[in-house]
Structure formats: C-alpha cells, structure tokens
Amino acid sequence: MCVIKNELIGKKVKLTEEFATEYYYDRPYANKVLTVVELIPSYKEDDIKKEFGYNRVVLKDEDGNIYDDDIEEWGVKEVEMTETTFEVCPHCDDEVQLKSQFEAQVCPSCNTIILPCSICPVNDNCLNCPLKNHSVEDVYNKHFNKMLEGTGYTACFVETSELYGEDDDEVDEDDPYYMLPMYEAHIEDENEDELDDTWTGRYCEAASVAEELEAFISELLEQNENSSDEGEKQIIGIQDVESSQAFEIVEELIEKFNSGRLIHFDQKSALVLWYHTTKNEYIVHNVYKGLDKWVLENGNYLDDADDAMLAFLKRKGKKLSISVNLSEEDIEDLRSGSVFNWTYPDESGIEVDVELYQGDEEA
C-alpha cells in the first residue's frame, strides 16, 4: 500500500514520548510538534526510479530545523493513512498519477480500470488487485450507482458492440485506438426509462465517458437538492411588519443555527418554525413574545397562525420532532396554556413528538 504524498505534506505530527525517548533520548523531542514537508520515495529492486511508496520522511519543527529519518521512527504512522491510492498500476506496474482519490480512471498504459483504495471494494491489496478480472463497466457502474444511491436513478455504463474504426475508412490502422471497444453511458429512472440529455459521447477511453457521466450525475443531484428545498417552501415570510424585528429574528436564527430557513412564525406564542437545512430537521424556537406579525402562504394572508402551522404539517405528512427551549417563565405559561397552546386532534393524521427542556441548551 502506498501513501498519498499530497495527503501527508503539511500534516502536523506530534511525537509520542515513547518515540522521543527511544530514538532521541538526549534531545527534548517528547510531544514536540513537527510538520511533514517532504516524503522520500522508495524504489523497487532492479528497477531504478520506479516509485512505489515512501519509506523516509522530512520534517520541520517550529524553529525551522529540518529532520530526515525513517518514516516509522518518526511516528508518521500515527497520521491518518487510511485513504490510499495507486502510485503503480496493479495490472501493468506502470506509474499512474490518479487525478483524484475518489474517482476511478483507466491506466493509460494498459487501458485497464484502476481504483483508489477509498472506493475500491478490495482494499489494501493494490499490487495483487483482483479487479483485473472485472469488466470496466462493472466497476464504473458500481462506483457511479453508489453516488446515486437513494435517488431512484441508475447509472448505465456499457461497452458497445462498436469497435473504433471498424466502419470508418478515415481511421488509420496505426491509430492506437484502432479496433478497440468503445464505451458510453446514460442515466435511467426507477422505471428504467432513459433520462433526456444524459447520454455521454461514445469513446474508447472509459475515463472520458466517466467524466461526462459524472458531470450529468452531479447536475442531477444538484437539481434534486434544489427541488427538495423548493418543496419545503410552503409557508415562508413575515408580512406587514411595522419594525425591523422580523428581520432581526431571521438574522438571529441564521447566526444561531448557522443555516436554515424561516418556515412559519406563530403570532400568538412568538414561536418560530425553522428549517435547519444542514441538519435536515425542523426546529421550533422561542425568540420573542408579543410580536404582531402576519404569515403569508401562497400569496394569501392568514388570520390564524395555528391553522397555517397545521396546514404545513399536513403537507409534510410525517412525524415532526419538535424541540423547544423555554425559560422558566415560558414553562409556567406553557403549563397555564397561554403560550404553547396549539395541539392537534387525532383526525389530523399528524404525529407530533414534543420535547421540552429548560436552560441555555441550543435547540
């Protein structure tokens, strides 16, 4: 297994007391923080300048002193090395610099699929990789369908029956791709219908097909995410505000929860229903009390904020966990029914799980 050079450069390495005592007992290296500045490659026997890993490391301390030693002795093994990649193709032993540790690509020497260990189904066995017994399309389909998992879409990466130059007199027989198989790909929905505008070009280089397919998948995932966000925007905004307090509410919530969207403000209880976009959850938060606001739903003003909240939950159609941070005064008001006074009958079909807590804990 090789170490990704770029993954270690710049890493901070803290020497343990064990390493410092055993190897540098006469110098105060225990718990000293060093920075990895270079890795020195090792070479295969009888094959000069054929890099296949790194066995020495160059480090720099906070004072700028440089140290060069065996990689194990410096405790670099304590740095996370789980994400590895190929420096050597497992099929032909030629050097290959992978474009990404998370993307499959084809070895330019032997035209065989190679995978970084981070997405490889057979990890830590690069030089004896059994993937040479797998087809290019099998490996790419597994890779791209993992990206599409949970979306209902399927990636179809196939080897066509067409051979490059087979029916084209203009292709020179000396062309390196002459009579090689060609690949193409597209995306299908859950009914196995082809999605429009997701067909890639047809190429001999599987990596070129993969690059186009990945672009389609990324665009599709982005569209799904935006569509999901739009679907939640059923009750949004505060209208007819006499002061800037409504905007202060939004600014405070954005600062408090880092990201999110105001879904509903209850004018009776001053409770805000907030959609936390990064956590994909809904939060009910008590910000102010006694504000006179109107909620706008689909262009219509609503006189009853409780009905608006109920309508939103009905559209949601699933259980909503509500966490409310209340002060002691709020809790007393809650017990008297004067603040948190909206409950839902069984016939509403809405299951609401309410958790109340007191103090500074963030909702």
CA 348, CA 80: separation in Å to the nearest integer?
52
Each residue's pLDDT tens digit, 21-41: 444 444 455 556 667 666 655
CA 116, CA 129: separation in Å to the nearest integer?
11
Residue owning tokens 């929905």: 189
Question: How many helical (H) and strand (E) elements, i.e. helices and strands, does the chain have?
Answer: 7, 16
Average pLDDT, integer, range 3-16: 54
Each residue's pLDDT tens digit, 45-83: 434 333 344 556 666 767 666 666 555 554 444 333 333
CB 120 within 8 A of CB 113: no
Average pLDDT, integer, range 192-214: 84
Per-residue confidence (pLDDT) for residue 29, from 0 to 100:
52
Per-residue tokens: 152: 């209902």
Average pLDDT, integer, range 219-238: 53
Computed over every residue of the chain, the mean pLDDT equals 56
Average pLDDT, integer, range 76-96: 49
Q: Which residue has the higher pLDDT, 252 or 223?
A: 223
Highest mean pLDDT among 103-107, 160-164, 170-174, 288-292: 160-164
* pLDDT confidence tier of residue 137, bands split at 50, 70 and 90: confident
CA 350, CA 341: separation in Å to the nearest integer?
16
Each residue's pLDDT tens digit, 154-166: 999 998 888 888 8
Per-residue confidence (pLDDT) for residue 210, from 0 to 100:
82
Can you give the pTM of this predicted structure? Answer: 0.34
> Which DSSP string corresponds to 117-171?
TTT-SSTT-GGG-GGGGS-HHHHHHHHHHHHTTTTT-EEEEEEEEEETTTT-TTS
CB 274 within 8 A of CB 260: yes
Residue 151 has pLDDT above 80, yes or no: yes
Residue 213 has pLDDT above 50, yes or no: yes
Q: Are strands 320-326 and 352-358 parallel, antiparallel or unpaired?
A: parallel
* pLDDT confidence tier of residue 299, bands split at 50, 70 and 90: very low
Distances (CA, A) of 16 to 10, 22, 261: 19, 10, 46
Q: Length of the chain, please? A: 363
Q: What percent of the chain has pLDDT over 70?
A: 24
Residue 185 has pLDDT above 90, yes or no: yes
Per-residue confidence (pLDDT) for residue 76, from 0 to 100:
44
Residue owning tokens 């055993």: 22
Per-residue tokens: 176: 């390196």
